[in-house]
Amino acid sequence: NKSRKNQKISTQNVRRTDRHFKRNEQMSKVWKFDGLLQEEGWLTPCYVKTDSKGHIEEISQIRPNDTGHLESVEGFVIPGFQNSHSHSFQYAMSGLAEIHPDPASQDDFWSWRETMYSIALSMNPDQFEHIAAMLYAEMLSHGYTHVAEFHYVHHNKDGRPYSNLAEMGERLVSAAKTAGIGITLVPIFYQKGGFGKKAVEKQRRFISKTSADYLELLSASDKATNNYSKANIGLGIHSLRAVDQHSIGEAFQESKHSPIHIHIAEQLKEVEDSLAFYNQRPVEWLLDNFNVNKKFHLVHATHLSENEVAGIARSGAHVVLCPSTEGNLGDGIFPLHSFQEQSGNWSIGTDSHIGLNPLEELRILDYGQRLTTHRRNQFISPTNGDSGLFAVDMALTSGRKAMGNSNETYFKIGQPMDAVVIDSKSPLIATCEAKNILSTLVYSGDRTNVYGTLVDGEWKVKDGRHQKLDGILSNFKKSLSELKIR
């Protein structure tokens, strides 16, 4: 009986903790899992020893010589998913833009954006933080252990900066800390209302007038990440339509070692406007005017010519694909097949959070390609034909780069034990050989397959439940009832 057994384990845990350690102080411990994914394949069974910070000390097939606490888990462990693109506040409007009272009227990305603006204008910092904390707890429940927050709601409702310039960014870091997810805060430079156009009133909370203003915000945001050991900073340009050429150049000069995130070519109208203004397509223009390199993460990059596909791949830049949101907004389909043939790198993001399941993002991405090409093997794997493994590996390795994390090893000694534990007892996992686990998971899995999520060697989600759900949910409900948007 699963729940009884888990109860027993957790009771033992608590007793030992009480006897030997103060509250909130982690102990070094040994985990036993049914299997752990490594680059060479599954290690079955697997013991992992973690230190007092939750970092990995040892990985082996036999139990380490250690008298410390052993926690035995009936699960297969894979590295935590990386969510490379998030606008946390948009979670509050998930599903709400699907009611179309006038069937004759045109509803598209741009009309959706009007609703999104009014929600962005309505939130105070507390509400903003509570929504983000709920979202991040839900992300953890789906197996994400790190998120890149593409953050542009910077200022007070009247458009004036808060006395703490990075007030709202600090709230996101605080929300991530509450939920226990890693965060790469990407404060966004947002300057204009469109190519060559002034920002409009509705965009007042987003605006940095000059690159100097933005760099000040970036520096304040960087300081805000000091409040949490799992927070770091990235640099972000909203889009080519939102910042002028000169200012983009000035911002890029400050990028130091950070990842650089930018929305690009999401909508056809954006491509048309770019052609009208710059006489070039967005990606074409970006590649021609800046030293685009492997630090760049081009979000969406939906509409590309063959030259642009080749140009991105050659530059080493990554793309961030958000298939559930891109589908929901009717953006279009990224030319994945051609990009992969040229060894392009991509990761996934949940963007507007209409979907939060990383497995679903991978499937929608694959199925979009299958539906348009009538071929099934779309994820191109140079080493073997396992689409599930390829998808998990690509989303992880490119996703970590989107976070500014240079670790290329799935589980590495000295690195945090951030992992998703797949329930060994779910029917299809319980009955398949280790080599079939990832394809089974990616193509037939959902949240119910996630037994738990570990961050820094601690259960953030256990037995499908976030450990701080009650408090986070109650704040979320309070804020949503104040906002009256749902």
Per CB under 5 A, the segment of 31-39, 162-170, 346-354, 478-486 that binds Zn ion is 346-354
| Sites for Zn ion among residues 24-43 (CB under 5 A) | none
The region of 187-195, 207-215, 347-355, 413-421 touching Zn ion under the rule CB under 5 A is: 347-355
Binding pattern for the stretch 295-334 against Zn ion, x by CB under 5 A and - elsewhere: ----------------------------------------
Q: By CB under 5 A, what part of segment 348-377 binds Zn ion?
A: 351
Catalytic residues, by residue number, are 300, 351
Q: Closest separation between CB of residue 263 and Zn ion, Å?
A: 6
Nearer to Zn ion, 349 or 452 (CB): 349
Opening angle at CA 241, ends 321 and 213, nearest 5: 105
Three-state DSSP at 100 gives coil
CB of 351 to Zn ion, least distance (A): 5
Give the dihedral sign, CA 136/137/139/145.
positive
| Alpha carbons 444 and 322: distance in angstroms, whole number | 19
Is the separation of the CB atoms in 249 and 275 below 8 Å? Answer: no
How many Å apart are CA 302 and CA 152, to the nearest integer? 21
Pick between residue 270 and residue 418 the one whose CB is nearest to Zn ion.
270
User: Judged by CB under 5 A, which stretch of 26-34, 75-83, 344-352, 397-405 contacts Zn ion?
Assistant: 344-352
* Closer residue to Zn ion (CB): 29 or 300: 300
Task: Give the shortest CB-51-to-Zn ion separation in angstroms.
Answer: 37
Cβ-in-10-Å burial (0-12, 13-18, 19+) of 192 comes to buried
User: Least distance from C-beta 43 to Zn ion, angstroms?
Assistant: 37
Pick 50 or 86: Cβ nearer Zn ion: 86
Q: Reduce the DSSP state of residue 250 to 3 states and report it.
A: helix
Give me the least distance between CB of 206 and Zn ion, in Å please. Answer: 13
> 407 to each of 110, 148, 399, 411, how far by Cα in Å?
38, 16, 11, 9
Q: Which is nearer to Zn ion, 222 or 351 (CB)?
A: 351
| Rounded Cα gap, residues 128 and 152, in angstroms | 12
Provide the mask over 374-393, with x wherever binding to Zn ion is found by CB under 5 A and - wherever it is not.
--------------------
Cis peptide before 45 (omega within 30 of 0): yes
- Give whichever of 273 and 423 is closer to Zn ion, judged by the CB atom: 273
Q: Please give the Cα distance from 481 to 473 (Å, whole number).
A: 12
CB of 132 to Zn ion, least distance (A): 15
Distances 93 to 121, 269, 480 between C-alpha atoms, Å: 13, 24, 10
| Contacts to Zn ion by CB under 5 A | 351
